[in-house]
């Protein structure tokens, strides 16, 4: 599922992360190579993805009942 809002949220998360790295003088290699980075960058988009998964599964169940 493609969402403009999700793309904007990921871009915002990326920008704020780089702002924190620069302002707090952090080591970018430690942060950008961390295994949890994708979940940090997609923060705020997960609810929409989970909701779409639930709706798709309910839709599939409804189609089977017909």
The residue ranking higher by pLDDT, 1 or 31, is 31
Residue-wise pLDDT tens digits, 22-58: 999 999 999 999 999 988 888 887 555 565 566 566 5
Please tell me the predicted confidence (pLDDT) of residue 52: 58
CB-count exposure of residue 20 (10 Å: 0-12, 13-18, 19+) = exposed
What are the backbone angles phi and psi of residue 63, rounded to the nearest 5°?
-65, -35
What pTM was computed for the model? 0.64
């Amino acid at each position: 599922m493609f969402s403009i809002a999700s793309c904007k949220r990921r871009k915002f998360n990326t920008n704020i992360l780089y702002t924190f790295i620069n302002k707090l003088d952090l080591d970018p290699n430690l942060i950008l190579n961390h295994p949890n980075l994708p979940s940090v960058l997609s923060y705020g988009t997960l609810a929409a993805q989970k909701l779409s998964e639930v709706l798709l599964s309910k839709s599939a169940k409804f189609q089977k009942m017909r």
